[in-house]
Amino acid sequence: MHIQAYKPGDTLFFENNKNEVDTFLILDYETEERGQKQGLISTKPESDYWVCITQLDKEKLNGFGRQKTVNGEIVNYQWLVSLVKYPPSQTIHYNFSFMTFYTQQDSTFGTFHSDTLTLNKKSITNYYAISHGFPERLNDPKDIEQLLWTDNEGLVAYKFKSGIWWTKKSSR
């Protein structure tokens, strides 16, 4: 299902070619079943599934507009990836939201590549390249224009508009 690489409590470490580090915490998963008959009106049935993530360096929070209480503390977070499944047709749509990165709901996960790409000394094989859904909105050099994702590790790299790549160094 492409998102099973994460467990609540996982910490993700990313590094760029200048040895700067960015850290993120997987908070939890959220689910919701929607679509019910209400009188003469029926809404389309769907099952929603979200992976909730927050940036640990609060000075860098960018795009984390949702809030929830975790262990008595208010935490800003966003949905890293959300899946919407429409049961009658078994169609799944994906949305990605990571800092300034966003895609439109789409039934494809991204463009699959079986080659090996080396970024910041990390080799990445069998990955999905996911492009920003609104490239015309990317104005800041730190806006994220692309994500790389593998089935085994989840998010493995992201690229700023300036060309700087951040690659996953580890998770625990």
DSSP 58-77: GGG--S--EEEEETTEEEEE
C-alpha to C-alpha distance for 143 and 136, rounded to whole angstroms: 11
What is the rounded distance in angstroms from the CA atom of residue 152 to the CA atom of residue 125? 11
> What is the number of residues in the chain?
172
Instruction: Note the pTM of the prediction, 2 decimals.
Output: 0.83
What pLDDT, on the 0 to 100 scale, is given for residue 1?
47
Contacts of 48 (CB under 8 A, 6+ apart): 30, 31, 32, 33, 34, 82, 83, 84, 85
pLDDT tens-digit readout, 136-158 = 999 999 999 999 999 999 999 99
The span from the CA of 163 to the CA of 32, in Å, is 37
Q: pLDDT of 116-126, one tens digit each?
A: 999 999 999 99
